[in-house]
C-alpha cells in the first residue's frame, strides 16, 4: 500500500483551514489492493501496466495527499473531493477503485477542451438531491477511473449514479460534509454547468464556516 506517514505530520497545516478540497489530476499509483482490475502485487512503474490501464500517475503527490486526507478524516473536517479527489477520498477511507472503466457510457473527455457528458440520478434524501433536486441532471465527464457502489469505503454512500451504475457522487450521511463528485464543477469553460455547480462550492463553504 501507500507509504505510512505519521498522522500528526499535517496537524499544523490542517489547524489553519476549516475544510479540505481534494482537486482533480493524475491517477493514483497502482499499488497493491486499491484497484480491482489490476493484478495483485503490481510494479507501479511497469510501462505495460500503465499502457494497459491508461495510467498517468504522480506518486509524489499520492505520498502527500493520501495521508493528508486520512488525517483530515481523523479530525472530522469537512472534505470535498473532485474527480481524482473523489477517488483519493474513497481510497483514503478504505475503498477501492476500477483502474480503467469499460462501459457503454463515455466518461473520458474528448479533448482537453471538450468534455463528454451524461446524466446522473441524485439519490432521494441525499445532500446531492438537496443541492440539485431529484431529477436527472446533466454533468461533464473527464475521468477514466471510478467505482461502483460496492467499492465505496465504509460509511460512504452513492448519492448519484451514471446510467451504467458508476458512482458520480458520494457522501457520508453521518458527517456534516464528507462529499465528493466525479465530474468537474470548477470548469468555467462549460459556462452553463459552471454557473449551476457553484452551488456545490457555496454549500461546502457554508459548512466550513460552522467549524
Residues 104-120 have pLDDT tens digits of 999 999 998 899 999 99
Selecting among 58, 134, 157, 186, the annotated active-site residue is 186
Nearest Cα neighbor of 149 from 163, 159, 135 is 159
Q: What is the pLDDT of residue 6?
A: 58
184 among known catalytic residues: yes
- Given a cut of 80, whether residue 97 has pLDDT beyond it is yes
3-state secondary structure at position 38: coil
- Given a cut of 60, whether residue 4 has pLDDT beyond it is no
- Number of Cβ within 10 Å of residue 16's Cβ equals 7
Say if residues 140 and 183 touch (Cβ distance below 8 Å). yes
Selecting among 107, 118, 144, 184, the annotated active-site residue is 184
Selecting among 65, 83, 168, 171, the annotated active-site residue is 83
Q: For 44-84, how does the pLDDT look when each residue is reduced to its tens digit (9 = 90+)? A: 888 899 899 999 999 999 999 999 999 999 999 999 999 99
- Given a cut of 80, whether residue 5 has pLDDT beyond it is no
Q: For 121-154, how does the pLDDT look when each residue is reduced to its tens digit (9 = 90+)? A: 999 999 999 988 878 899 999 999 999 999 999 9
60 among known catalytic residues: no
Report how far apart the first and last C-alpha atoms of the chain are (Å, whole number).
32
Average pLDDT over residues 153-182: 95
Distance CA 131, CA 124 (A): 11
Say if residues 147 and 90 touch (Cβ distance below 8 Å). yes
Q: What is the pLDDT of residue 143?
A: 96
Fold of 7-208: Rossmann fold (3.40.50)
Nearest Cα neighbor of 79 from 200, 177, 199 is 177
Strand pairing partners for 109?
A: none
Burial of 125 (0-12, 13-18, 19+ CB in 10 A): exposed
Which triple of cell numbers denotes residue 186? 470548477
- Given a cut of 90, whether residue 10 has pLDDT beyond it is no
- Number of Cβ within 10 Å of residue 90's Cβ equals 25
Whole-model pTM? 0.93
83, 94, 97, 148 from 104: Cα distances, Å:
20, 28, 18, 15
Q: For 15-51, how does the pLDDT look when each residue is reduced to its tens digit (9 = 90+)? A: 899 999 999 999 999 987 899 999 887 888 888 998 9
Nearest Cα neighbor of 182 from 69, 75, 24 is 24
Average pLDDT over residues 175-201: 91
Distance CA 139, CA 116 (A): 9
Burial of 57 (0-12, 13-18, 19+ CB in 10 A): middle
Amino acid at each position: 500500500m501507500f507509504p505510512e506517514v505519521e498522522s500528526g505530520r499535517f496537524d499544523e497545516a490542517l489547524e489553519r483551514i476549516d475544510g479540505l478540497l481534494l482537486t482533480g489530476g493524475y491517477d493514483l499509483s497502482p499499488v497493491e489492493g486499491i484497484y480491482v482490475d489490476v493484478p495483485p502485487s503490481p510494479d507501479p512503474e511497469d510501462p505495460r501496466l500503465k499502457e494497459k490501464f491508461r495510467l498517468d500517475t504522480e506518486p509524489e503527490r499520492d505520498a502527500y495527499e493520501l495521508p493528508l486526507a486520512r488525517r483530515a478524516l481523523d479530525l472530522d473536517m469537512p472534505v470535498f473531493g473532485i474527480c481524482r479527489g473523489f477517488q483519493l477520498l474513497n481510497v483514503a477511507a478504505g475503498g477501492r477503485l476500477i483502474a480503467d472503466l469499460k462501459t457503454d457510457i463515455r466518461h473520458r473527455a474528448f479533448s482537453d477542451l471538450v468534455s463528454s457528458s451524461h446524466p446522473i440520478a441524485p439519490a432521494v434524501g441525499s445532500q446531492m438531491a438537496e443541492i440539485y433536486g431529484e431529477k436527472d441532471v446533466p454533468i461533464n465527464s473527464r475521468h477514466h477511473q471510478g467505482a461502483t457502489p460496492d467499492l465505496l469505503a465504509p460509511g460512504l454512500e452513492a448519492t448519484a449514479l451514471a446510467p451504467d451504475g458508476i458512482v458520480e457522487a458520494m457522501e457520508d450521511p453521518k458527517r456534516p460534509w464528507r462529499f465528493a463528485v466525479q465530474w468537474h464543477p470548477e470548469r468555467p469553460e462549460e459556462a452553463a454547468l459552471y454557473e449551476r455547480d457553484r452551488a456545490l462550492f457555496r454549500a461546502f463553504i457554508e459548512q466550513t464556516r460552522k467549524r
